[in-house]
Amino acid sequence: MTPERRTTRLVMRQWTDADLEPFAALNADPEVMEHFPAPLTREASDALAARARAGLEANGWGLWAVEVDGRFAGFTGLARPAWDPSLVEVGWRLARWAWGHGYATEAARAALAVGFEEVGLTEIVSFTAVGNERSRAVMRRIGMTRDPADDFDYPTIPQGHPLRRSVLYRIRSSSWTRSGSGSTASGTAET
């Protein structure tokens, strides 16, 4: 497996030093980080990029930097949450200029294809704060479903915090194959 993936409109690739400044800018944007406890400092943003880079080097899959027409747009990919490494989640975070074009859906589908077709995962999850309707819509568009019994309190967010309650969506490899979602891995876009 190589770390770079291409869809119809996107390049999902290894991180470069040139990504650090625009990544820090999107992680400092209050609107992008609305459903996180706080925007990230430059140091925390750089550390996240370093972990993503190391994961891609070690595994050939992980959190890819996403490019649109040669411009860094954010990330998408697969990761194991620190609080439950038995899970693999698909996630994304894009700069505001990249919202509303179907890029998150396109990239997430490509990440699911890697997880199911190359890595051989049997299930991939995604989760977010209850009020993050934009991300929840992406989860539904990529074929994930939610059972309210799976919702949980995010373990590192303090009790009483409005973002603590999280929703969890799932997709199993059998659903991926059966639904034909794998055919979208080449990057069929939704707008």
Give 129's strand partners: 166
Residue 180 scores a pLDDT above 70: no
Confidence at 3, pLDDT banded by 50, 70, 90: confident
CA distance 128 to 21: 25
Confidence at 1, pLDDT banded by 50, 70, 90: low
45-80: pLDDT as tens digits: 999 999 999 999 999 999 999 999 999 999 999 999
Q: Which residues are within 8 A (CB) of 72 and not within 5 positions of it... i.e. 6 or more apart?
A: 18, 19, 22, 23, 65, 66, 95
Q: b/e string for 148-159 if b means 16 or more Cβ within 10 A?
A: eeeeeebeebee
Confidence at 177, pLDDT banded by 50, 70, 90: low
87-106: pLDDT as tens digits: 999 999 999 999 999 999 99
Share the mean pLDDT of the chain. 91
> What is the predicted pLDDT for the residue at 179?
47
> What is the predicted pLDDT for the residue at 132?
97
Counting residues of the chain whose pLDDT is more than 90, the rounded percentage is 88
> What is the predicted pLDDT for the residue at 133?
97
| Axis-axis angle for helices 133-141, 103-113 (nearest 10) | 50
Residue 185 scores a pLDDT above 60: no
Residue 181 scores a pLDDT above 60: no
Q: Is the CB of residue 63 less than 8 Å from the CB of residue 78?
A: yes
Residue 188 scores a pLDDT above 50: no
Q: Which residues are within 8 A (CB) of 76 and not within 5 positions of it... i.e. 6 or more apart?
A: 12, 63, 64, 66, 90, 91, 92, 93, 94, 104, 107, 108, 110, 111
CA 56 from centroid of its chain's CA atoms: 14
